[in-house]
Amino acid sequence: MNRSDTQSIALVTGASRGLGAALAEALAARGWHVVAVARTVGALEELDDRIKAVGGSATLAPMDVTNEDAMRHLCRSIHDRWGKADLWAHTAIHAPPLSPAGHVDAKDLDKSIATNLRATGILIPMVEPLLRASSNGTALFFDDPRGGEKFFGAYGATKAGQMALVRSWQQENRKTGPRVEIATPAPMPTATRARFFPGEDRAPLAAPMAEAERILATI
């Protein structure tokens, strides 16, 4: 994606670590202004330091994507300040502990639904007008097809639901925009993967920054 005559604005939800942080850094290094959303203030501040180190700029938004009022206020603020968003990269995810379906914890299931599925459904109508205001507005989502795998019941079901929602939005906007893109990242040594595969040899896994650069080159 190329920067236009005016500064391009990227909204990255789930930007504090892993692929989200790598995307934020890669975009900032290309001259984009990044609106970085995550719950962890310290991690966002560390991200901001890295972005500044490459000469980039960011607006930090320490909030939970499941907080509808906060996200609505943020989207309104983006509209009032820039009038658009050129890219929305949605990496926010809840990774519940692996569990047999017969032993799924209700709280983990509820949090998975709230973060992985419901927040996506709530955010799409909030962000869509910002993307439509851009000449090349693009939404970017990330598939992780675990549905039906052993012990991935809560995560796999809610991630599959998220992707079903996103693919519907993609088909609905194919002629009118915004563009909706779905990438499938290679396995990376992220905190999410470590929760699913503790003790795994992480050496063969792809670096998040390398995956961020690869994915951005395809959209």
The secondary structure of residue 56, as a DSSP letter, is -
pLDDT of residue 6: 82
Over residues 117-129, the pLDDT tens digits come to 999 999 999 999 9
4 in a domain, yes or no?
no
Kindly state the tokens that stand for 9.
Answer: 């604005």
Q: 36 φ, ψ to 5°?
A: -100, 120
Over residues 140-189, the pLDDT tens digits come to 999 999 999 999 999 999 999 999 999 999 999 999 999 999 999 999 99
3 in a domain, yes or no?
no
For residue 2, pLDDT beyond 70: no
191 in a domain, yes or no?
yes
> What is the rounded radius of gyration, in angstroms, for the C-alpha atoms of the chain?
17
Question: What is the spatial distance between Cα 208 and Cα 186, in angstroms, rounded to a whole number?
Answer: 9
In the chain, the number of structural domains is 1
1 in a domain, yes or no?
no
107 in a domain, yes or no?
yes
Global pTM?
0.94
Over residues 59-93, the pLDDT tens digits come to 999 999 999 999 999 999 999 999 999 999 999 99
Domain hosting residue 46, numbered range: 9-216
141 in a domain, yes or no?
yes
Sheet containing strand 179-183, edge to edge, reads 57-62, 33-38, 9-13, 87-90, 138-142, 179-183
We report the CATH number of the domain holding residue 158 as 3.40.50.720
- Judge contact between 216 and 175, C-beta under 8 A: no
87 in a domain, yes or no?
yes
